[in-house]
Amino acid sequence: MGKRKAPSRENTPNSDFCEFLTELAEYEKNVSRNIHKYNAYRKAASVLSSHPTRITSGQEAKKLNGIGEKIAKKIDEFLQTGKLQKLDNIHNDSKTTAINLLTQVTGIGPAKAQTLVSEGITSLEDLEKHKDKLNHHQLIGLKYYHDFQQKIPRNEIKQIENLIRGHLEPQIHLTICGSYRRGKQQSGDIDALITHPNYTSSQPKKKQNLLKNVVTALQNCGLITEIISLGDTKFMGACKLDKNSITRRLDIRLTPFDQYFCAVLYFTGSDMFNKQMRAHALDAGFTLNEYTLRPVGSTGVPGEPLEIHSERDIFDCIGFPYKEPQDRNQ
DNA sequence: CCGACGGCGCATTAGC
DNA sequence: GCTAATGCG
DNA sequence: GTCGG
């Protein structure tokens, strides 16, 4: 048995810094509605979480990529006082804590949370009393608030995977991506990809009702219990393995056959791994996204997509040593 | 000093 | 009625 | 908030 060394937030020497940076990140996204500061704080937390030794000064932290003047200062304050004044203020502000709570309901984002709070709606109980202010997605988010907070054990996803596969025509390929494919023991949601050899990027009409038929079949067998949204290529909803199970968030995407492996690679992640791999592709003269791998000429204009027949093809084409999904956690 | 920081499918709302 | 813009994940 | 042109 190998030892997975996922730098889990708890055992890293700088976990306390990561925690307050993550809190600041949430504040910037939900309250300030500044997605770029959110990402900046997350980047800083990420670089600290994988730093092997304890940081003992802001000056030392500032050497790391993603940590600048301001965060260095906060690290010094935290080292000296054991807390952050800015975070104390945030915790004591009822408007802020309400917005942070409401955005935990799927479908309620920073904008909706803000208007709700300005109308005096600040708790789940308030939401229950004012369902008329919620759209379909948000109603499902409220109904299953506690269920969706729970992580999904790997074994349950495995059973759901088998159940789905048993209801697909044999021609349809299925891969559950995300952290499940990376071997994690639990996941936040289930991200399924499907494809069919007759449906390609050059024959987009062939998808017809492929996804809708799949969703209908999974509704009829009792697995899919809620539809949040459903188009030609993306389903978002909820499923329940059996009567004693918790309701889980399930997404299903239908991708063209010729783009399947780029999509599988992309949706397997992790985000950081994708970033590394895209950067390596660029160095090797290619551009890689969730759809295609294309050579990029000296003019900078991408050429025609390369033919990809497996995930490994993508690694080979750009000269990137193959990594099993479980080794793509960072 | 100042702009970039991912792009997209689906649902809903804004604007005409 | 339509398309564009916005919110969300 | 941080980075880089």
Closest CA to A117 of A133, A129, A142, A99: A99
Q: List protein-proximal bases of chain D (any atom < 7 A from a CB).
A: 1-4
Does residue A61 lie within 7 Å of nucleic acid chain C, judged by its CB? no
**Cβ < 7 Å from strand C, A residues 180-209:** none
- Does residue A199 carry a pLDDT above 80? yes
Task: Tell me the average pLDDT across A79-87.
Answer: 98
Asked if strand D contacts A71 at the CB level, meaning under 7 A, the answer is yes
pLDDT at site A330: 85
**Which domains, from first to last, does chain A contain?**
11-92 (1.10.150.110), 98-149 (1.10.150.20), 152-261 (3.30.460.10), 270-327 (3.30.210.10)
The closest nt to A112, taking CA to C1', is: C7
Exactly one of A43, A63, A74, A112 is catalytic; which is it?
A: A74
Distance from C-alpha of A107 to C-alpha of A155, rounded to nearest angstrom:
27
Residues A153-190 have pLDDT tens digits of 999 999 999 999 999 999 999 999 999 999 999 999 99
| Segment (H or E) for A249 | strand A248-254
Q: Which residues contact A279 (CB under 8 A, 6 or more apart)?
A: none
